[in-house]
Amino acid sequence: MLEYITNYLNSNLTPGQAGNIFWAVVYILLIFAGVSAAVILMNWGERKALAHMQVRLGPMRVGPHGLLQPFADALKLLLKEDIAPSEADKMVFWVAPLIVVVTAFTTFIVVPFGQTHAVTDMNIGILFMLGVSSLGVLGIVTAGWASNSHFPLMGGLRSSAQMVSYEIAMGLAVISAVLMTSFSGVGPFGVGGEGTGSGTLSMIGIVQAQQAQHVWFVFKLFPLGLIAFGIFAIAMVAETNRAPFDLPEAESELVAGFHTEYSGFRWSLFFLAEYAAMVAVSSIAVTLWLGGWLRPFTYWLSGSGWDTAFSLFPGLTFLVLAGFTFFNTVRMPKHPALKIQTVGLGVFGAILGVVGLLLFVPGVRERIQDIYWFSIKVAVFMYLYIWYRGTFPRYRFDQLMKLGWKVLLPVGFGVLIATGLIGLSDQLLEWVKGVMHWA
Amino acid sequence: MTDVTKSTTSFYEEDTGKTGTFLDANELILNMGPQHPSTHGVLRVILKLDGEKVLGTECIIGYLHRGVEKIAENRTYTMFNPYVDRMDYVAAVSNGLGYCEAVEKLLNIEAPPRANYIRVILTELNRIASHQLWLGTHALDIGAITPLFYTFRDREEILKIYEKFCGARLTTHAFRIGGCSYETYDGFEDNVKKFVKFVTPKIDEYEELLTTNRIWVERTKGVGILSGPDAIALGVTGPVLRAAGVKWDLRKAQPYACYKEFDFEIPIGENGDTYDRYLVRIAEMRQSLRIISQAVEKIPDGPIMAKVPKVIKPPVGEIYHSIEAPKGELGYFIVSDGSTQPYRVRVRPPSFVNLQALDKMVRGMLVADVVAVIGTLDIVLGEVDR
């Protein structure tokens, strides 16, 4: 039994590939906990960052700098009375949030947090991910419909149209990235070579292709990769119903859109699912275009010295965070009522510091750095989500559709075709030569 | 107004002129408000929708009715003065100015020059405050949440000046019949000058966020168009009228207080759409700043109260006096029977009249536009319902 557990640690495979159920379960639990923690962190971070953009402070009362606010909110939501409208379709009303939350979390099965840090590696990974995350719209539509109320109904209708439209543009962008995996040349413009390109749909395979080509796909065939990435980056905001595409839950128009009638725990499931979905689509973007778990400059700054240098980043990040926390602990107003908060903030900083120091330990360092780079890249997207929300007004429904169908879709097709033609350039050249010869 | 819920002919038939059945299943009656995030208070709008398209609207008002006009009949002229602040609580100073000037006209007295200057400074500050609040909430309705906090931050400086001047921030009751009840506090002029200096770049900041923002332009251009003739026919006034290209501002057309003495322009729009109304209001804020800085420079010394009898007993007669409130023409019609209490007071509130244009502006548009148009009309329900 022990062998069954320890043998896996020496292998270079994901638990799913190794067929190791124990580690698969551990990974699932870890990912569930990690994503939930990310949602909590995101909740706090969004409120703080948005507040500072809007010249306010955000949560400040529950815990030092409002650090415990998400927990207080979660507790409040769990304790609230569970209300279902009397005219609602109870069964569907009950199932809808479950569909949304289950699909949002299921996508994480194939997300590669590192070379071996994924529950499993499917050969149709990206397809699975897009498919499952698209199922989430089902929950939103049923939630809107089952509430038996006008605002949720309109929210549900909006979201179904919106998500279906943007999935197409999203799919086109994804295909062009997948096409790039089949190139075997090295560098931003290398496409030819001796047919060693992998041509894979597997999430891990896509990152490995970027590693093999020494380039993140966002820079591949510049500007094609960048445009495809841009299309995806826009479509993923629409896909997760976030500002400026938050029409299904447009507060000023539809009160709260599809979840108007939901409260308490059920509502918190929608909330959880929304943020989990944001992390999920950001993971796709990171995996497909930003090199997934790869550290920056794997090619230019290669060698064991650089490897070691870059592996210090996780610990340094935590130490910087700890230093920042200590700085704020010192800055706390000296007031007896704030004593507990000051101590709490100090302890929080100490925990961050200890974690930072632990991350310097050689064995840990190597295992953790993949996850670190992946998380950092996802975090950038999370920040962008907050930034969009603080900056943009909301699109109108017809304008949203216009953008999806008349701008993103044609551009997506163009990028796909151009990528394909360049990929086939050698054969095309041969063919042209053949034609010339024949003529 | 027709009752959309009970009309026998559908709006589809009215609008298109087509006969035959427009499947009822395609029409949705949506009750927006009185509890809704963006109806600016307790406005209830019944929308008749075809999917997202608006076929017709009906406004139900009266949820904030307090009978201000009836109360006036049981109060003396002086006692009624604070009540008018509660109508358009966003622009309380303008309300007070209109009422005081109307009663002064009835009494045939005139406020002294210094009082008039103070009145102009405070009402123009109020116009800026009102437009700032409008801009914040309007942008919030369209989905931009950040401008709200910026405008509230800057509006706070105006409220601070009010607080120092008369002790109140919102319902100020700053003026009395015959002048002002308070002399300005020490450093009033400096504070106002500092405010002008402070807020000028802030208005650029709002513009930076919105004016060239693609989404903002798409959401407001061509939305809720109200042509000049339509606006006049509906009796719409204020920035909504001026955005339609009609140059009508009571400050120039029938100058009151001491507006004659200032150099300012009336910004007008071209298309009468939501974007033009936005630009007009932004330009109006700048013009108000211009008036304020001129007024602070030349504010004269002298008394702040005219000779007003202890007991105000206007002669028998009636008066209609109107001023340019931030939202449009605010008129007071006062009938005096020679007693200490008005026989009848009737207020012509700009919000109430402007709200009539809602149906015309949103027919055929989308639900999101209804919210944008309600925002751009800049209604305050306290004034609509009174």
- ipTM, interface predicted TM-score of the complex: 0.81
Contact check, Cβ <8 Å, A252/B371: yes
Contacts of B336 (CB under 8 A, 6+ apart): B106, B314, B315, B316, B317, B318, B319, B342, B343
Contact check, Cβ <8 Å, B143/A246: yes
What's the pLDDT at A192? 64
Give the distance from residue B205's alpha carbon to the nearest chain A alpha carbon, in angstroms: 13
pTM: 0.84
Q: Give one word for A190, left, alpha or beta, with left for phi > 0 and alpha for psi -120 to 50.
A: beta
Contact check, Cβ <8 Å, A54/B149: yes
One digit per residue, the tens of pLDDT, for chain B of length 386 reads: 445 555 445 555 556 665 554 445 567 788 887 888 777 778 888 888 877 788 888 888 888 888 888 898 888 888 888 888 888 888 888 888 999 999 998 888 888 888 899 989 999 999 999 999 999 999 888 888 888 999 999 999 999 999 988 888 888 888 888 888 888 888 888 889 999 999 999 998 888 888 888 888 988 888 888 888 888 898 899 899 999 888 888 888 888 888 888 888 889 888 888 899 999 999 999 999 999 999 998 888 888 888 888 888 888 888 999 998 898 899 999 998 888 888 989 999 898 898 888 888 888 888 888 888 888 888 888 888 88
Question: Count of alpha carbons within 13 Å of A212, Cβ hemisphere only?
Answer: 19
| Residue of B143, B366, B371 lying closest to A244 (CB–CB) | B143
Cis bond before residue A244 (omega within 30° of 0): yes
Contact check, Cβ <8 Å, A391/B146: yes
| Residue of A255, A396, A399 lying closest to B37 (CB–CB) | A255
| Residue of A55, A253, A391 lying closest to B367 (CB–CB) | A253
**Where residue A117 falls among pLDDT bands split at 50, 70, 90?**
confident
What's the pLDDT at B283? 92
Dihedral over alpha carbons A171, A172, A175, A179 (to 10 degrees): -170
Q: How many CB atoms lie within 10 A of CB B249?
A: 25
| Residue of B30, B144, B218 lying closest to A399 (CB–CB) | B218
Give the distance from residue B102's alpha carbon to the nearest chain A alpha carbon, in angstroms: 39
Contacts of B9 (CB under 8 A, 6+ apart): none
Contacts of B200 (CB under 8 A, 6+ apart): B286, B289
Contact check, Cβ <8 Å, A54/B146: yes
What's the pLDDT at B16? 61
3-state SS assignment for residue B10: coil
Give the distance from residue A229's alpha carbon to the nearest chain B alpha carbon, in angstroms: 21
For the segment B186-206, what is each residue's pLDDT rounded down to a tens digit? 888 888 999 999 999 999 888
Contacts of B143 in chain A (CB under 8 A): 243-244, 246, 250, 252, 392-395
Residue found by looking up tokens 């307090």 in the block: B66
Rg (CA), chain A: 24
Cis bond before residue B113 (omega within 30° of 0): no
| Rounded Cα gap, residues B302 and B283, in angstroms | 33
Contacts of A393 in chain B (CB under 8 A): 139, 142-144, 210, 213, 215-216, 219
| Rounded Cα gap, residues A349 and A67, in angstroms | 12
Contact check, Cβ <8 Å, A393/B368: no
Contacts of B37 in chain A (CB under 8 A): 251-252, 255
Residue A434 phi/psi, 5-degree rounding, is -60, -45
Which DSSP state fits A394?
A: P
Query: DSSP states of B88-138 as a string?
Result: SGGGHHHHHHHHHHHHHHHHT----HHHHHHHHHHHHHHHHHHHHHHHHHH
- Nearest partner of A289 among A225, A381, A382, A227, judged by Cα: A225
Contact check, Cβ <8 Å, A398/B366: yes
HEC states along A111-159?
Answer: CCCCCCCCCCCCCCHHHHHHHHHHHHHHHHHHHHHHCCCHHHHHHHHHH
Give the distance from residue B207's alpha carbon to the nearest chain A alpha carbon, in angstroms: 13
For residue A9, the one-letter residue type is L
Contacts of B367 in chain A (CB under 8 A): 154, 253-254, 397
Rg (CA), chain B: 22
Contact between residue B133 and residue B155 where contact means Cβ atoms under 8 Å apart: yes
CA angle B103, B261, B121 (to 5 degrees): 65
**Where residue A67 falls among pLDDT bands split at 50, 70, 90?**
confident
| Rounded Cα gap, residues A140 and A138, in angstroms | 5
HEC states along B346-385?
Answer: EEECHHHHHHCHHHHHHCCCEHHHHHHHHHHHCCCHHHHH
For residue B291, the one-letter residue type is I
| Rounded Cα gap, residues B324 and B287, in angstroms | 14
Give the distance from residue A338's alpha carbon to the nearest chain B alpha carbon, in angstroms: 27
Contact between residue B151 and residue B281 where contact means Cβ atoms under 8 Å apart: no
Contact check, Cβ <8 Å, B219/A243: no
Q: How many CB atoms lie within 10 A of CB B166?
A: 18
Give the distance from residue A137's alpha carbon to the nearest chain B alpha carbon, in angstroms: 19
Residues of B with CB under 8 A from a CB of A: 28, 30-31, 36-38, 51-52, 139-146, 148-150, 153, 209-210, 213, 215-216, 218-219, 366-371
| Residue of B31, B148, B215 lying closest to A244 (CB–CB) | B215
Q: Both tokens of residue B126?
A: 């109020």
Contact between residue A63 and residue A75 where contact means Cβ atoms under 8 Å apart: no
Residue B85 phi/psi, 5-degree rounding, is -60, -30
3-state SS assignment for residue B319: strand
Secondary structure percentages of chain A, helix, strand, coil, to 5: 70, 0, 30
Contact between residue A352 and residue A317 where contact means Cβ atoms under 8 Å apart: no
Strand order in the sheet with B53-60: B27-32, B44-50, B53-60
Q: How many CB atoms lie within 10 A of CB B316?
A: 10
Q: Both tokens of residue A270?
A: 């929608």
Contacts of A53 in chain B (CB under 8 A): 146
Contacts of A254 in chain B (CB under 8 A): 367
Q: Find which of A260, A394, A400, A401 to mutate to test the B interface (most B CBs within 10 Å of its CB).
A: A394
Contact check, Cβ <8 Å, A250/B368: yes
Q: Both tokens of residue A10?
A: 């020496």
For the segment A188-234, what is each residue's pLDDT rounded down to a tens digit? 777 765 566 677 888 888 888 888 888 888 888 778 888 999 999 99
Strand partners, B305: B179
Q: Is the pLDDT of residue A427 over 60?
A: yes
CB pairs under 8 A between A and B: 86
Cis bond before residue B326 (omega within 30° of 0): no
Largest CA distance in chain A: 93
CA angle A381, A384, A385 (to 5 degrees): 90
